[in-house]
Amino acid sequence: MKKSLLGIGVLAMCVSVQAQTKTTKPAAKPAAKPAPTAAAALKTTNDSLSYAFGVSLGSYLKSQDIKTINFAVMNKAIDQTLKGQPTTLDMNAANQLMGRMAEEKSRKASGAEKEKGIAFLAQNKKRSGVVETATGLQYEIITAGTGPKPTAADTIVAHYRGTLINGNEFDNSYSRGEPITIPVSGVIAGWTEALQLMPVGSKWKLFIPSALAYGDYGPGPEIPGGATLVFDVELLSIKGKADR
């Protein structure tokens, strides 16, 4: 997360040769001294620390898709803060401003992601075997189980694989070699609904709109806000209950 305020020197070597005549052997000019590299410019611990903070800030600004910054204004604010001088914006106002910016960015991104999900689900429900519930949850029965169905009060044991609609995988209990044990009411709404419809022994494919998943704010970089999620869920057992 963050940005560099220091310029990075470019190593350059310039070699020129005098024009050759019939009587004089050309002599090469001495090579110019190379410009100092960024590392060479960091002569003190303070230089290195300053540069490190610049890289960190630059990375953060880049992650927020900020392409231009008024460095004079920013450096003034940093200088005033370090010296304990009054600033035009206090920390609370600064946080509110940056929070609004992040919210706006998230809203735009999640809106675009939701639109993709809506289009995907509209086509997906046309496929044979796909069922859509009143909430918008879609599921496809891969293997029909014959055991009991969990209730919202139960804890279940299941294997699963989760992907985005583009196929990017974000979680997989099969790869970890261990199923999850989790309360039916302790998962995203799409799972809670689907699990109560699934008999033990079932394997279903779930297509969960963002409203039944993580909404406008994803839980991390692998699941963006507004994302429609796809899960392969294999219900192995209900904890404390017989399978039949």
Domains of the chain, each with CATH number or no CATH: 38-88 (no CATH), 130-238 (3.10.50.40)
Q: Pick the residue with more confidence: 217 or 165?
A: 165
Distance CA 238, CA 220 (A): 29
Structure tokens at 172: 């997989």
Contact assessment for residue 190 and residue 212, using Cβ atoms and an 8 Å cutoff = yes
**Tens digits of per-residue pLDDT, 63-108?**
777 888 898 998 999 999 999 999 999 999 989 888 887 777 767 7
Question: Among the residues of the chain, which ranges form H helices?
Answer: 38-41, 45-63, 71-82, 91-124, 173-176, 189-195
Residue 226's pLDDT is 92
Task: Bin 36: left if φ > 0, else alpha if -120 < ψ < 50, else beta.
Answer: beta
Alpha-carbon separation of residue 231 from 38, 75, 198 (angstroms): 48, 48, 14
Band of pLDDT at residue 31, cut at 50, 70 and 90: low
